Structure 1
Amino acid sequence: MPAHAAEPLSPAKGTVLLTISGNIEQTNAPGRAEFDRDMLEALGRKSFKTTFVMSGKTHLFEGVSLRAVLERIGSKGTVIRASALNDYEIDIPWDDLKYDPLIAMSADGEVLKLRDKGPLWIVYPRDDHSALRDDIHDSRWVWQLNRLRIVRP
């Protein structure tokens, strides 16, 4: 069992940026876990530089490890279904956690805003792993991320 999963999850005090449902142990709303910016940042900041395919440029992304968020709520599954504000949805295999993707909240020192495809992105360290430099993994970069659903077979 993840270290943090036993601790109750406090209710979000600010604007909810991320809602997680499905196979999770900790909730702070009926059937789901809701996170505001402060709650995400409390899980520990992480950053890396990597190339964003759409711009062709390297950017410094900062946020929180997707794995840390999932561990905090005691999630177990085989698939992470990620959804965006524009209803884009994609299934991310649990195995992708080995690459330690980031839930980015800023890029190049600027907080991601809605007009920048924010406030949250799922970002992979594609420059660190040649296996991530393909269309399949590029499609798992989810901007305007707002929901995750933990799915079991």
Structure 2
Amino acid sequence: MRYIRLLGLLASFLGWNSFACAAEPLPPPTGPVLLTISGRIDQTNAGQEARFDREMLEALGAASITTFSTMSATRQLFEGVSLRSALERVGASGTSIVASAHNSYKITIPVEDLKYEPIIAMRVDGQVLKLRDKGPLWIVYPRDAHPALQTSIYDARWIWQLNKLRVE
């Protein structure tokens, strides 16, 4: 299994359009489902989908970004999990990710965006995101760290009320 992870890291480093294979079967969620991943994935737990509750997402490891957004005049601390980690956990392979929200908004995110290490935020400034706060999940980019991310193209990829990812 270590060999497979190393191959996945090498593939990522070389820019190949694949992710490390998931290490173990994905358990079913025990709480409310926050995120469903489908498409070109190896690990599922509900038909052709991988469904995650909050506990399952948090088990992927913590990630955070402190940055300005178009929604706030001050820097905010966004906490959650790495988008890359979620995709690796399901053994995703593809060139793009279609992200969908509860409000029917959809945006295509190229896999190349993973070089910026965007996260799936579950908290902002220590507060758990709720649906009325544009939660429960946001895709967040480190805008302050990369001037290239300070454009309307990337602002549109900051999808809030995220509930689905489809790997294509």
Measured after TM superposition, the shift of residue 76 of structure 1 is 0.5
One of 7, 21, 24 as aligned partner of 1:7: 24
Partner of 2:14: none
Which structure 2 residues correspond to residues 60-71 of structure 1 after superposition, within 5 A? 60-71=77-88
Partner of 2:36: 19
Partner of 1:90: 107
- The residue identity in structure 1 corresponding to 2:133 is D
Identity of aligned residues (%): 64
Measured after TM superposition, the shift of residue 52 of structure 1 is 1.2
2:57 matched to 1:40? Answer: yes
Q: Deviations over 1:50-106 (max 9, x none)?
A: 001122321000000000000001000000000000000000000000000010000
One of 136, 139, 143 as aligned partner of 2:153: 136
- The residue identity in structure 2 corresponding to 1:122 is I
Partner of 2:69: 52
3-state SS, counterpart of residue 33 of structure 2:
coil
Computing the radius of gyration over CA atoms, which structure comes out larger, 1 or 2?
Answer: 2
2:158 matched to 1:109? Answer: no
Partner of 2:165: 148
Measured after TM superposition, the shift of residue 41 of structure 1 is 0.2
Equivalent residues of 2:64, 2:79 under 8 A apart: yes
| Bigger helix fraction | 2
Q: Deviations over 1:128-152 (max 9, x none)?
A: 011100000000000000000000x
- The residue identity in structure 1 corresponding to 2:145 is D
Which consecutive residues of structure 2, in runs of 5 or more, have no partner in the other structure?
6-19
3-state SS, counterpart of residue 94 of structure 2:
coil
Measured after TM superposition, the shift of residue 4 of structure 1 is 5.9
3-state SS, counterpart of residue 38 of structure 1:
helix
- The residue identity in structure 2 corresponding to 1:126 is R
For normalisation by structure 2, the TM-score amounts to 0.87
Which consecutive residues of structure 1, in runs of 5 or more, have no partner in the other structure?
none
